[in-house]
Structure 1
């Protein structure tokens, strides 16, 4: 499914089938790396299905899709600049596709917004970051698989270090006035997300 979405998207901006295929193959290669237990193609599929539900509310659907495919393009659990490097890679590709600079800037902001998930003036960005966090409000069974996969990505760290850092991240979300900025995602996921985060903190403390 994702391949068809990607090919259809990029084909609007390039007629070079070989180039389009190479871009898709790079997306698959990066998201299929062995150290990616959560930040992989399954995450992109989940993100896409959640965004589809609010497609009619999104102003620039193509840019949201581009952000979907490139927001975790670079991912290394040992680094702190994954979003910045992913955005840089995205900008380079979008420039090659002759996408309007203002739209490239929006996509850059969208990718960088996944670092802190703060409220944005752009509702497209809010929908995107909410969809990115939708896993937090899933059923406990699904959430359990998610947090175990995240831990696998940080296997380089001893438990005492990982647990402390993870609790800080979870508390960051719990202490937000709202985890989900848009009403749609808030009503659907907020309550369950808070419960899941609190339960994981209990397991880590």
Structure 2
């Protein structure tokens, strides 16, 4: 990871503080600040409409909420920082490239190798959002990433609009067809969430939101 000099901005100070404390808890031997600023620069790239620093902040808050279910909450937090650090809407290899970025950056920062390997595994898991039974850290990361589906109707509408904006280069009918297929797959799952807290808090609203968007796309 090439650390670039970036100017701090008040809106990102709280996130940078959280990153710095996290990397220090994870045993870094380097100054965390330049790495955090580079990650925040990536999360603020102009092609992003949903996968922004707002999404990162929401995920970190969700991980805090679900932390009791994780085996190693700080490793899950590191994975959240990196899981969409590389993001191009027209590319299919974003998760793998994000995992490789995590490996390079965390090695350079002196984080222990077993934790680096686990972060990369978790980042790759966000391709499918299907953790194996007993994968407590994977369950927390995936539930945090999908928590947006269980938001209030207006929050979900803003999320859906932001996703459409990210894929503005896709013709309308093609987007509707592809998005509808994804929604059907999600609705067909026996469970959207794995942790007891997320199951209780989000399942009902998530299914209602997904069904409403699918109905809109098919109308």
- TM-score of the superposition, structure 1-length normalised? 0.94
Partner of 1:162: 175
Counterpart selection for 1:22 from 31, 34, 48: 34
What is the CA distance between 1:96 and its match in structure 2? 1.6
Counterpart selection for 1:111 from 119, 123, 130: 123
Within 5 A, what are the aligned runs for 1:121-136? 121-136=134-149
| Cα distance in structure 1, aligned partners of 2:40 and 2:83 | 13
Task: Summarize the Cα distance change of 1:123–1:16 in structure 2 as closer, same or farther, 3 Å threshold.
Answer: closer
| Cα distance in structure 2, aligned partners of 1:15 and 1:108 | 19
Partner of 2:159: 146
Contact 2:29–2:110 (CA under 8 A) maintained in structure 1: no
Structure 2: gaps (5+ residues): 1-13
What is the CA distance between 1:60 and its match in structure 2? 1.3
Structure 1: gaps (5+ residues): none
| Cα distance in structure 1, aligned partners of 2:68 and 2:15 | 19
Counterpart selection for 2:90 from 73, 78, 86: 78
| Cα distance in structure 2, aligned partners of 1:167 and 1:194 | 14
| Cα distance in structure 2, aligned partners of 1:15 and 1:123 | 28
What is the CA distance between 1:132 and its match in structure 2? 0.5
- TM-score of the superposition, structure 2-length normalised? 0.88
The number of equivalent residue pairs is 203
| Cα distance in structure 2, aligned partners of 1:181 and 1:56 | 13
SS in 1 for 2:168: coil
Matched, 1:47 2:52: no
Partner of 1:194: 207
| Cα distance in structure 1, aligned partners of 2:45 and 2:109 | 26
Task: Summarize the Cα distance change of 1:174–1:130 in structure 2 as closer, same or farther, 3 Å threshold.
Answer: same
